[in-house]
Amino acid sequence: MDTSNITIVTFQVFVRDFFPSALAFLMNREPEVVKNFLMKTLRLQSWEKRIDRFQLGAGVMPASFKVLHDPRRNTETLIADFGESAIGRVAPVDSGFWWIILLRAYTRSTGDSSLADTPECQKGIRLILTLCLSEGFDTFPTLLCADGCCMIDRRMGIYGYPIEIQALFFMALKCALALLKQDDKGKELVELITKRLQALSYHIRTYFWLDFRQLNDIYRYKTEEYSHTAVNKFNVMPDSLPDWVFDFMPNPGGYFIGNVSPSRMDFRWFCLGNCIAILSSLATPDQSDAIMDLLEARWEELVGEMPLKVCYPALETHEWRIITGCDPKNTRWSYHNGGSWPVLLWLLTAASIKTGRPHIAKRVIDLAETRLPNDNWPEYYDGKLGRYVGKQARKFQTWSVAGYLVAKMMLDDPSLLRIVALEEDRQMRPTLMRSSSWS
């Protein structure tokens, strides 16, 4: 059989999945790999993006791309996926944010701003942010998103204003401020970014934050309050508070809840959003400490025997059927429905170092080392404590290895944290007080 004309798919690269690998390359002083990735994905952004005759915004970054190798011609072709091949056909909202954050990490690591200063990169940043900062009907500074638009890439009830996207949005905006040129094209965008950051930080820090005091306030909310004097601004029904949250909330401790929208608060804990909030300084120093207090107080629930829960708790029974659409991959305590993901090691390690608690990082890394090599570096683990290798988990998963390597390198050399962490902006640190209509 003549196979000379067969085109072979060699591999597929996901933008978000590559991020921990990129950090590993940067920390190992191999920036050229990261530079090539940034430029390749930037070129894909310029492609025409259509799904069923509908054209996506110019700023959308691909979720992933395939590399097609033609052995006869010895050529490679990139095929981008902007959501038209994704499960559920959802465009990746987070890809553009990861790209901006990685460009800033590359610049910080190398000390070379020439890549970010190129007209191509400047245009790429502007396209992404123009898409996000466009005017609309929304009354909130947060981004309205569909289910499956981020790491939680299946239907999991995160539609609305998921904390993962809001934290990444905030971090990307701050990185963009450091990367954009103050020329005629960038000046107006910088002003928009600055205003949005102030509104976004206030909104998230105020309305997404949950601690013992705030939980007690919500428990005693009055409803159907009209006008600007309302205390219960989103008309959240106290009866919607889940039973588990009362036992889960320690004192002291707190976290950013999964979602806030009209008459709906998703009280689930999402690891990525809370860790990014710490790294980006979206969380105030007090809030960052409270997040780490919660993690230590609820170690068994959030870490268990294999770090680290992507969200807590899992959806079960009738609620699982309605919200996930009976998704067999997202059964309780599996995959994105309460599964444990080793890639999150680097995020927790970075957050631990930034908050001055490296002992937490060492504890989770020591725990992971007892399992990961022997289990052949699986994608995720199942079970309430993360005891079992995921029922559909791929082995030798690149970002599982990369997440571990980055965590180890940062713990050995905490100065590497500067590549990815952002310091607090004093101008964005107003006293955390609700408007005068709040008690």
SS3 content of the chain, % helix, strand, coil (to 5): 50, 15, 40
Contact (CB, 8 A) for 99 and 16: no
Tokens matching residue 439: 């008690």
Query: Which pLDDT belongs to residue 10?
Result: 63
Res 25 pLDDT > 90: yes
List CB contacts of 227: < 8 A, sequence separation 6 or more: none
Integer Cα distance of 345 and 365 in angstroms: 7
Integer Cα distance of 405 and 394 in angstroms: 18
User: How many Å from the N-terminal Cα to the C-terminal Cα in the chain?
Assistant: 78
Amino acid letter at 426? Answer: R
Q: What global pTM score does this model have?
A: 0.93
Residues spanned by the domain of 371: 8-428
Query: Which pLDDT belongs to residue 428?
Result: 56
Model confidence at 305, pLDDT cuts 50, 70, 90, reads very high
Integer Cα distance of 90 and 154 in angstroms: 9
Integer Cα distance of 60 and 300 in angstroms: 39
Contact (CB, 8 A) for 86 and 148: yes
Model confidence at 2, pLDDT cuts 50, 70, 90, reads very low
Q: Is 435 a member of any domain? A: no
Q: Is 232 a member of any domain? A: yes
Domain count, the chain: 1
Q: Assign residue 326 the CATH number of its domain.
A: 1.50.10.10
Residue length of the chain: 439
Model confidence at 436, pLDDT cuts 50, 70, 90, reads very low
Q: What is the pLDDT of residues 101-135, one digit of tens each?
A: 999 999 999 999 999 999 999 999 999 999 999 88
Q: Is 208 exposed, middle or buried (0-12, 13-18, 19+ CB in 10 A)?
A: buried
Q: What is the pLDDT of residues 72-85, one digit of tens each?
A: 777 778 888 888 88
Q: Is 216 a member of any domain? A: yes
Model confidence at 437, pLDDT cuts 50, 70, 90, reads very low
Q: Is 106 a member of any domain? A: yes
Query: Which pLDDT belongs to residue 438?
Result: 36
Integer Cα distance of 331 and 317 in angstroms: 9
- Mean pLDDT, the chain, integer: 91
Q: Is 2 a member of any domain? A: no
Q: Is 128 a member of any domain? A: yes
Rounded CA Rg of the chain = 22
How far from the centroid of its chain's Cα atoms is residue 307's Cα? 17
